Each structure stands twice: as structure tokens, then as C-alpha cells.
Amino acid sequence: MTKPTRLIVGITGASGAIYGVRLLEALRGQPVETHLVFTRAAKLTIAYELDRPIEAVEALADVVHPLADVGACVASGSYRTLGMVIAPCSMKTLAAIATGVTDNLLTRAADVVLKERRRLVLLPRETPLHLGHCRNLVAVTEMGAIVAPPVPAFYAKPTTIDDLVDHTVGRVLDLFDIDAGLAHRWREGEQPG
């Protein structure tokens, strides 16, 4: 049996749309077929934060699925994928995943990834957190998801926002054994002593 080379990318309306867009850009040079699902709020956030037409973001993905299409291929466990990344992940989407609410393709695909024991990586973008947020983060972790907030790594000595974003995206791709050359590796290349 061959290993699947598909990755589902979800983008929600939380601030930080650049994470999902940069993830799609980084995967363009990789042997990975990308399946994009985004929420209506994500389209608004992309327009506001990135000044990019939504069509330009859609063009980065191999396949774009409408949010309402709960019959899409990524809604079935028999459709093999490496897993899914939701970048950024709103607290609304996190809550839906934590409680098994699958009322759109984004949450259904996440639910399928979890039930099939595939990798689900969530980049929550909210601060500060209240107890409900924390409980949902614990719930998705207990269900098998990986919570990976986009926290800057200052040891990489970033000088631009792109440096911060690239490092986070590189570390997320590491979770799928995909090296896009974006992550700064701690002490890699240093001489001992």
C-alpha cells in the first residue's frame, strides 16, 4: 500500500490568515496534493489582512472544496490523506471539533481525520484564553489532535513577519515529515564546543 500524499488545509476567520496561505505556498514545491477548505469568515480575514483576492489563494491549492459540500472526498475516511492542518483555527472551529459538531466540510474533515487516527494540527489564534477555550484545547488534544499555537521562536533571530510565519509553517510541516526548508533548526550546523 502506498503512502497518501494529500494534505487537507483549513483556513478559518481567526486573525493570522497568513499562516494558512503560507502553508499552501510552501506545499507548492512539495509532492503533496493540497485540498483547501475555508470558512466564510476566512475569506473576509484574507481580504482584510492580506489584501489578496480570494481567487489568488484558491489558486495555491490543488483542489478547493466548498464549505457546504459535506459530500466532498475529504469528508470520507476512505479517502486517504496525510491528515489536516487548520491554520489559523478559530475558537468557534476548535469548539466544534472538540464537541463533534460537523455542520460544514471543515469540521467534518477534521472529525474524519481524528476518527481515522490521522494527524490533525490546529493553530489556534486567540489570547487571552478563558476556561472554555482551555477545556476545548484539552478535549481536542485528548482526541488526538496536535495543538500548535503560532508562537514565535526568537532563537531564530527573526527580522521580519515573514521570518516568524515561515518558522511556524516549517515546524507544522515537520509534523507531517515534510521539510520545506522554512524552519530554523536549533543549533543545526554549529560546531561542537
Compute CA distances 174 → 49, 85, 93, 115, 168, whole Å. Answer: 26, 12, 23, 22, 10
Spatial distance between the Cα atoms of 163 and 68, rounded to a whole number of angstroms: 34
Q: What was the pLDDT predicted at 192? A: 66
User: Judging by DSSP bridges, how do beta strands 6-11 and 33-38 pair with one another?
Assistant: parallel
pTM of the model: 0.95
Give the model's pLDDT for residue 190: 67
Query: What superfamily in CATH does domain 6-174 come from?
Result: Flavin prenyltransferase-like (3.40.50.1950)
What pLDDT does 113 receive?
98
Q: Is the peptide bond before 88 cis (omega within 30 degrees of 0)?
A: yes
Q: Residue 3: its pLDDT value, please?
A: 67
Q: Which helix (H) or strand (E) holds 7?
A: strand 6-11
Per-residue pLDDT of the chain (193 residues; tens, 9 = 90+): 566 799 999 999 999 999 999 999 999 989 999 999 999 999 999 999 999 999 999 999 999 999 999 999 999 999 999 999 999 999 999 999 999 999 999 999 999 999 999 999 999 999 999 999 999 999 999 999 999 999 998 988 999 999 999 999 999 999 999 999 898 777 776 666 6
Domain extents in the chain:
6-174
The CA distance from 46 to 39, in Å, is 11
Please tell me the distance from the alpha carbon of residue 58 to that of residue 24, in angstroms, as a whole number.
9
Minimal CA–CA distance to 105: which of 125, 79, 123?
A: 79
CB 106 within 8 A of CB 10: yes
Note the pLDDT of residue 2.
63
Report angle CA 149, 28, 18 to the nearest 5 degrees. 35
